Amino acid sequence: MLHGLSRCALRLVLAAAVAVLPSLIVTSPASAVQVAGFAGSCPTAGFISDPYGGSRDHDGIDIANNYGTPIYAVGDGEVINSGPAQGYGQWIRILHPDGTVTEYGHMYQRDVAVGDRVTAGQRIALMGAEGQADGPHLHLRVRRDTSMSHGIDPIPYLAERGVTIPCTPGQRPGPAPLVYPVGSGRVVSARSSDGRLEVFAAGADGVHHAWQSQVNGGWSAWERLGGPGNAQLAIAPNADGRLEVFAVNGQVAQHRYQVSPSGAWSDWEDFGSGGSSVAAGVNADGRIEVFASGPKEVFHRYQTAPNSGWSGWEQSGGGPAGSRVKVEKAPDGRLEVFALNGSVFQHQYQTAVNGGWSQWEDFGSGGHDVTVNHNADGRLEVFASGPVGVFHRYQTSPTSWSGWEKTGGPANSQLAGNRTADGRVEVFAINGEVAMHTWQKDLNAAYSDWDKFGTGGTEINAASNADGRIEVFGSGKDGVHHRWQTGFSTWSEWDWVNGSGPPIT
Ligand SMILES: [Zn+2]
């Protein structure tokens, strides 16, 4: 019966919230470039007794538990409201560095006051049933900004920040890179919602899979999954944290997905006809969107609702034929797609968050491979390889770009990148002769010279462990090796991932 009991009357809460608006302190201009997400923390133990939306248009989620259950800040931030609020009884609002606001209601005890700085996971209150509530629960609402406009679904918001409800308070917050766990190439990896890395490698006999047997370390043996041979892969998380993998080769496109967060995987399912490469991104509302290049142009399809079914394939309005494709999220939440082949480099971008797409626009001359990463302040940074080495250009605002700058690095290399635990971008490149890496010397800053990282190979991928240590997978015709950070600037030796895995040619 708790499900029906521990809920709040949404419209009363909404009215009450508007009534206390005059006390609101607006501290961040809406036009500011926002930090792209933060490492989230579990708000409270309990189960969801009333989800977001539904026929009552519930603006938030209710997490029910016993009186006095501790409630914790979802992220670092500043307390902008703490006190009585009609409907809520009492409320607390926290403004986070990315400009979003989390709102907590119905507590019987508050531990923080307006102006307090809080950290992710800090206790801020004890659960109650004050105001319009039929039993003890936390009403958690998430808003895009400090306005009183309708909130967004807290579930994908939390998932992007590494938190899946139900969750266990007190676990150390994961690092920010889970905000962008998408990847594409012959070898891809991403973190399951419980923090364990999973890796997929596309061999001639189909896709092979291995996973960390525990968070931050230890690997399973490789499991052969079948699916398309010599495929290009992409991986992305669903809004509820379930990873999904996409595989294309010249004849077929297939996908498979976790049936529960961090759980077992579905079989391969048909996803369309073949293509040259595939990439996946996650819309601001949690819907995965997939791009694939074909012999003439680029196509896309997208989930019609978070965690849900798919649109048909649609033309993207052009794009380079047979191109390498990458999808990333701009600091304001719009997806952006980059595609290059040997002679053309173009990009297109959503014209509104979760919205439609621009025309393809020239982004540079052609090249071999591309990787897109996020500065600590959220600005995208693009690296592309070609016959004379690796070049980069970066956003100077959400809609403007620097020119191309030469960085050196291996010619015609495969590229990958990730963020270190302290927020610096690190980029990895491999060609037949050498593997090299370069890293930002400070947050949002210039890069080191390229440094040797290993011998040559065919593909490289960089993922982020739950504790923030980057883990790199380098492959060749003898299989898949890995190497991981042991500190900010120290690395393990290369080793097999518990067995060689498939040859990647
Ligand atoms: Zn509620």
- As a three-state string, the secondary structure of 68-118 is CCEEECCCCEEEEEEEEECCCEEEEEEECCCCCEEEEECCCEECCCCCCEE
Asked if the model's pLDDT at residue 379 lies above 60, the reply is yes
CA–CA distance, 226 with 247 (Å, rounded to integer): 11
Task: Please give the distance, rounded to the nearest whole angstrom, from the Cα atom of residue 332 to the centre of ligand 1.
Answer: 27
Banded model confidence at residue 40, pLDDT cuts 50, 70, 90: confident
Task: Please give the distance, rounded to the nearest whole angstrom, from the Cα atom of residue 441 to the centre of ligand 1.
Answer: 45
Task: Please give the distance, rounded to the nearest whole angstrom, from the Cα atom of residue 62 to the centre of ligand 1.
Answer: 5
Task: Please give the distance, rounded to the nearest whole angstrom, from the Cα atom of residue 158 to the centre of ligand 1.
Answer: 16
Q: What is the pLDDT of residues 333-360, one digit of tens each?
A: 789 999 999 999 999 999 998 999 999 9
Q: Mean pLDDT lowest for which of 191-200, 222-231, 277-286, 445-454?
A: 191-200
The pLDDT value given to residue 37: 58
The pLDDT value given to residue 322: 95
Banded model confidence at residue 27, pLDDT cuts 50, 70, 90: very low
- Side-chain-side CA neighbours of 70 within 13 Å: the count stands at 14
Q: What is the pLDDT of residues 252-294, one digit of tens each?
A: 999 999 998 888 999 999 999 999 999 999 988 889 999 999 9
The pLDDT value given to residue 12: 36
Banded model confidence at residue 30, pLDDT cuts 50, 70, 90: very low
Task: Please give the distance, rounded to the nearest whole angstrom, from the Cα atom of residue 289 to the centre of ligand 1.
Answer: 30
- Region 414-434: mean pLDDT is 91
The pLDDT value given to residue 177: 36
Indicate whether this model's pTM tops 0.95.
no
- Pairing label, strands 314-315, 324-329: unpaired
Task: Please give the distance, rounded to the nearest whole angstrom, from the Cα atom of residue 31 to the centre of ligand 1.
Answer: 30
- Pairing label, strands 405-408, 61-64: unpaired
378, 34 contact by CB (below 8 A): yes
Task: Please give the distance, rounded to the nearest whole angstrom, from the Cα atom of residue 177 to the centre of ligand 1.
Answer: 30
Asked if the model's pLDDT at residue 466 lies above 70, the reply is yes
Asked if the model's pLDDT at residue 470 lies above 60, the reply is yes
CA nearest to 456, candidates 478, 485, 427, 426: 478
Q: Which two tokens stand for residue 256?
A: 């498979």
What residues are neighbours of ligand 1 (ion), with CB under 5 Å? Answer: 8, 62, 139
With residue 211 as reference, give the H or E element that holds it.
strand 206-214
Task: Please give the distance, rounded to the nearest whole angstrom, from the Cα atom of residue 73 to the centre of ligand 1.
Answer: 17
The pLDDT value given to residue 181: 60
Q: Mean pLDDT lowest for which of 265-269, 280-284, 452-456, 462-466?
A: 462-466
